[in-house]
Amino acid sequence: MKFDREKLKLKSLAGRTSKVTSDLLSGNWEADTPVTEFANSLPDILAVRKLRTLAAALVKSRKNGGTRLFMYGGHVIKCGLGPLIVRWLDEGIFTALATNGAGSIHDLEMALYGATSEDVQEGIRDGSFGMWEETARHYGKAIDRGKGIGRGIGLEILENGGNIAISPFATAVKNGCNVTVHPSLGADIVHPVRYVNWAVLGKEAERDFISFAEVVGSLASGVVLNAGSAVVMPEVFLKALSSVRNLGFPVENITTADFDMIKQYRSTFNVVRRPVNALGGQTVEVTGHHELMLPLLDVFIKAEEGKK
C-alpha cells in the first residue's frame, strides 16, 4: 500500500471533543492581587483542578461536620510547614493528625529548641548522628505519660514552655484534636537511647493505633490527605481501614489525596486508589515540593471559602 497524503480523511473541528477550552485558561494578576484572586485566575487544568477538588472537599466536609485527617511525614515539618498545620487545626480545616516517628521528633525539637534536621552524613563520621540528650530525654518522658505517643509529646511541649505557634502536636492537644504517632521500631534517632523503653514505646504505639483506627472509622464522606509519608502512614492507614470495615464501620464515599515530591507506590495504591476503588469517593494526586504545594492548597481553600 502506498502512503498518499491526498487521501487522508479529515474531519471538522466542530465535531471534536477538546480537552482544553478558552474558559479553562489563566487570567491576569498583578503584584498586589489578593491570593484568592490569584488562585481563581489559574488555569483549571491538571494540578490546579486537583487542588480545587481537594479544597472543595475539605470545605464541604467541614461544613457537614465530617472527619478531615491529615497524615504526614517528617519532611513536611522540615520544610517549615509546622505553622501552616497549626493554622489548619485552629481553623478547623483538619480534625486529626497522624505521622511517623520522624514527624514527631522534628515537631518536638522545633517546638522546644527552635531547630531540627541535623547533618546526617557529618554525624555518621564520629557516630554522633541521632545522639541528642534533650531529644531522647523529652521523648522518653512523653511516652512514659501513658497517654499515647502523640498526646504525650504534645503535653511534653506544652508543659515545658514550647512554642505552640509552630507545633502541630501541642496545638492538637490544646484544641482537643486527635494526634497519633506510628513508629517503625529502630528507625528513629531516639530508639537506641536509654531514655526510650521499647516495651513502653510499643504499648503507646498500640494506644495510638487504636485511636487512629477510630478516626479512620469516622471517615464516611470525609477527607484524608497524606503528605510526604511514602511507606509508614499509607501502610498504617490501609490496615486501619480494613480493620474498621471488618468491624462494620460505615466508611465509604471518601476523598483521598496524596501530596509528595515524587509518586510513590504505597501512597498511590494504599491511600489514593484502593480505598476509593473499594468504597467509592474521589481521589487527588499532586506531585511537587511540600513547601509550595501545601501552601497553595491553603490558598485554594480560602478561595473556596470565599465563594458565594
Task: Measure Cα distances from 92 to 65, 110, 120, 152, 196 in Å.
Answer: 10, 23, 36, 22, 33
Give the per-residue pLDDT at 167.
98
Range name among 28-32, 133-137, 158-162, 191-195 with the lowest pLDDT average: 28-32
User: Once rounded to an integer, what is the mean pLDDT over residues 235-261?
Assistant: 96
User: Once rounded to an integer, what is the mean pLDDT over residues 111-135?
Assistant: 92
pLDDT in tens, 277-307: 999 999 999 999 999 999 999 999 999 999 8
Confidence category of residue 118, pLDDT binned at 50, 70, 90: confident
- Domains with residue ranges and CATH for the chain: 45-305 (3.40.910.10)
Q: Mean pLDDT score of the chain, rounded to an integer?
A: 96
Would the pLDDT of 308 be above 70?
no
Buried b (16+ CB within 10 A) or exposed e, 125-143: eeeeebebeebbbbbbbbb
Bridge partners of 72, per DSSP, are 99, 227
Indicate whether this model's pTM tops 0.75. yes
pLDDT in tens, 66-78: 999 999 999 999 9
pLDDT in tens, 139-190: 999 999 999 999 999 999 999 999 999 999 999 999 999 999 999 999 999 9
Cβ contact 129:193 at 8 Å: no
Give the per-residue pLDDT at 307.
85
Instruction: Assign 3-class secondary structure to 11-54.
Output: CCHHHCCCCCCHHHCCCCCCCCCCHHHHHHHCCCCCHHHHHHHH
